A and B are shown apart, each in its own frame.
Chain A
């Protein structure tokens, strides 16, 4: 491995570097999702994010909604943003925050179109076409690894995940963080049983406390609904597969985070303030979890799976990494990296990490993932409670 690897990306006005150069058609209201999809369908190069809610949100829900919208738009992979919304103040709030990044932003509102969605669609389509033309002039230039922020996820795990794929991601994370990059792992439910290890890696007692509190809060949330995350864990299937204790199961999951110091605990969609490794306190369900990373600025996702998992981020190319030989053989057009040689005893984690680093830089520089080719991507924002 070269000592100072570089990749080719799109340098943005705010200093961030994108691994893609997308026009994001972003619906900021539940009402305007269909219009955003219509406009994006007419502009096949655009990517479209909609969500079926927006009005009447309260407290943490409202904060997460706004931070996610701004976060998707501000993600370095997005070259320009077309905002489509209902009421002018909300659209303008988000537009102003996004314009501060220096990227081109256009905004259209139902309020400005006499509430005629056809007028809205027409204006949005013209604005989107102009933005696509503008960002097509951007070119890739050399960028350091320190410009990368990587999300770390696992889904549909099996014994090969905890033994090979997650430790492999952990090795790569250590290398990325040592080179000055940022990495975010989430799924705080899975910290239960490994909190002591995570807390020992925290940069401060405050961060250590935040890690243990986040795991305990997930356990309480489950308990309040009659589910016990600690008793009967590992379950009979886990035990038959060789897992003996909750510590072992959790360590296998959080092995993705490697061994670096943990700089902080982020809310869903919260942007890290400086480089390094971060923990995000969020849902363990991949679509919500990964979208939290992407809204926080992740340009790439390292995603391990055992039996296969088709979900990828829409905005952040997602590398599917698998060490299960059967899945690796069958899911040829889903999995981007085959680590099954390690699981079969033919290769080492270190050799696999070197090969995966090369693939990561290749994908950062433009090579497509299977998820991008098959258009499997989505972004979704968690809902935490009821609306007014």
Chain B
């Protein structure tokens, strides 16, 4: 494998995480978007990644109990 991604899909794959993290430069972002507009293969995998991130976030989220909330409020300095 060469050190450079000549395959546009490979390049697009490498840009997926930084794209979704919104840390690409403007130029890189446009490059990725241009490729995604014409490539169903990559577009599907980007959409999956976004879905996957929401899935993980939801899966690992557990609401705080009202009891804990009350205990935290009670830690405030009395007036």
Asked if A pairs with B, the answer is no
